[in-house]
């Protein structure tokens, strides 16, 4: 159970499109400090640490959260029977699988200026455009109908929530509030080395999530300030700071029972004790945060 939860935090940081707040935070970063990255650039920056974590998370989970039941052969039999009862893939399932692969292909290649797609002079397809294309194809092929889209109230809530947050972030930046706050906070850090300043700012951004129950609200409230403070420190690598903060969004979801959307479901399942959940969250949070500084930060400086 804990392995699934901890691995979800890793994949949420590994892919730009794996966590809804990722795109919103990237838009905030673009408005605040003018930094934008493609899907492939996002993945490349996190891949060394992300792939390592995907290999180590099950082992680390086994060590810190040793299971009472270590063998369950009847589960294999049950799963095989359930798959047999489901039967072969239906037409709609085949179409959905193909469109998911198409979306991934367009996200990877359409936003990469080094890959030329036939008929695209600009060599660029916005990630949001890809989503609308895939949804249109799902409607045309009758895999879903319009009522399915309208009924997704939570998705529409996120859409309007993001719109208001981006407008708020842009407005605060336009009136000079972010700059004013940044100048006040950056002044004590100017005497430090740029590396130490990055570490302190990323630490603030990561661990302050204990006071938030939403990654989206966290990004909207804290990211503009942290990035603006970074721009006020001479010699500080703002692109590195930006990506470290963006990669933190998924990873910080492991630290508490309310840190991200899936957390309450895992917490409320009853398979992991309350005290254990907090303890495991702290342990994995420390591992994830250490990896950001020891692996991702030097890797970003090397490929920058």
Q: How does pLDDT run across 86-118, given as a tens digit for each residue?
A: 888 888 999 999 998 998 888 777 655 544 444
The secondary structure of residue 162, as a DSSP letter, is H
What is the pLDDT at residue 247? 96
Q: Is the pLDDT of residue 26 over 80?
A: yes
Q: Residue holding tokens 């709609």?
A: 92
What is the pLDDT at residue 116? 46
Q: Is the pLDDT of residue 1 over 70?
A: yes
What is the pLDDT at residue 145? 86
- In this predicted model, what pLDDT tens digit does every residue of 110-161 receive, in sequence order? 655 544 444 444 456 777 788 888 889 999 998 888 888 888 776 676 666 6
Q: Is the pLDDT of residue 75 over 60?
A: yes
DSSP letters spanning 175-240: TTHHHHHHHHHHGGGTTS-HHHHHHHHHHHHHHGGGG-S-HHHHHHHHHHHHHHHHHTSTT--HHH
Cβ-contact 58, 195 below 8 angstroms: no
C-alpha to C-alpha distance for 177 and 66, rounded to whole angstroms: 49
Q: What is the mean pLDDT of residues 16-37?
A: 86
Higher pLDDT, 304 or 253: 253
Output b/e per residue, 230-250; b: 16+ Cβ within 10 A.
bbbbeebbbbbbbbbbbbbbb
C-alpha to C-alpha distance for 72 and 300, rounded to whole angstroms: 42
C-alpha to C-alpha distance for 300 and 23, rounded to whole angstroms: 20
Percent of the chain topping pLDDT 90:
31
Q: What is the mean pLDDT of residues 282-299?
A: 96
- Taking each helix axis from N to C end, the angle separating 39-64 and 91-110, rounded to the nearest 10 degrees, works out to 120
Look at residues 135, 108, 127 and name the one whose alpha carbon lies nearest to residue 117. Answer: 108
72: left (phi over 0), alpha (psi -120 to 50) or beta: beta
Higher pLDDT, 199 or 67: 199
- In this predicted model, what pLDDT tens digit does every residue of 48-59 receive, in sequence order? 999 999 999 999
Q: How confident is the model at residue 169 (pLDDT cuts 50, 70, 90)?
A: low
- Taking each helix axis from N to C end, the angle separating 2-14 and 39-64, rounded to the nearest 10 degrees, works out to 160
Q: Residue holding tokens 């797609």?
A: 117
Q: Is the pLDDT of residue 165 over 80?
A: no
At a CB cut-off of 8 Å and minimum separation 6, what does 295 contact? 48, 49, 52
- In this predicted model, what pLDDT tens digit does every residue of 231-244 receive, in sequence order? 888 888 999 999 99
Taking residue 55's Cβ as centre, other Cβ atoms within 10 Å add up to 9
Taking residue 251's Cβ as centre, other Cβ atoms within 10 Å add up to 29
Range name among 31-45, 114-128, 130-144, 287-301 with the lowest pLDDT average: 114-128
Cβ-contact 47, 14 below 8 angstroms: yes
Range name among 26-30, 187-191, 294-298 with the lowest pLDDT average: 187-191
The chain-wide mean pLDDT, for the chain, equals: 83
C-alpha to C-alpha distance for 240 and 40, rounded to whole angstroms: 16
What is the pLDDT at residue 56? 93
- In this predicted model, what pLDDT tens digit does every residue of 171-197 receive, in sequence order? 766 777 666 666 666 667 777 888 998
C-alpha to C-alpha distance for 212 and 1, rounded to whole angstroms: 23
Q: What is the mean pLDDT of residues 15-41?
A: 86
């Amino acid at each position: 159970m804990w392995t699934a939860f901890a691995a979800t935090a890793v994949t949420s940081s590994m892919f730009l499109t794996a966590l809804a707040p990722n795109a919103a935070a990237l838009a905030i970063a673009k408005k605040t400090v003018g930094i934008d990255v493609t899907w492939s650039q996002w993945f490349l920056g996190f891949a060394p640490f992300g792939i390592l974590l995907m290999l180590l998370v099950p082992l680390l989970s086994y060590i810190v959260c040793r299971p009472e039941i270590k063998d369950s052969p009847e589960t294999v039999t049950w799963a095989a029977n359930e798959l047999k009862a489901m039967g072969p893939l239906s037409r709609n399932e085949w179409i959905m699988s193909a469109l998911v692969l198409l979306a991934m292909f367009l996200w990877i290649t359409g936003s990469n200026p080094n890959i030329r797609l036939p008929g695209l002079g600009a060599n660029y397809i916005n990630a949001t455009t890809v989503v609308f294309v895939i949804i249109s194809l799902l409607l045309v092929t009758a895999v879903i109908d319009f009522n399915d889209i309208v009924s997704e109230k939570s998705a529409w809530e996120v859409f309007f929530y993001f719109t208001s947050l981006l407008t708020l972030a842009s407005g605060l930046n336009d009136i000079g509030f972010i700059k004013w706050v940044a100048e006040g906070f950056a002044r004590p850090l100017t005497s430090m080395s740029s590396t130490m300043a990055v570490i302190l700012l990323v630490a603030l951004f990561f661990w302050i999530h204990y006071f938030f129950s939403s990654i989206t609200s966290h990004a909207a409230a804290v990211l503009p300030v942290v990035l603006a403070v970074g721009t006020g420190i001479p010699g500080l690598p703002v692109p590195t700071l930006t990506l470290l903060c963006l990669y933190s969004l998924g990873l910080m979801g492991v630290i508490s029972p309310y840190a991200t959307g899936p957390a309450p479901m895992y917490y409320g399942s009853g398979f992991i004790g309350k005290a254990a959940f907090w303890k495991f969250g702290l342990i994995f949070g420390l591992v994830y945060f250490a990896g950001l500084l020891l692996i991702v930060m030097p890797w970003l400086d090397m490929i920058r």
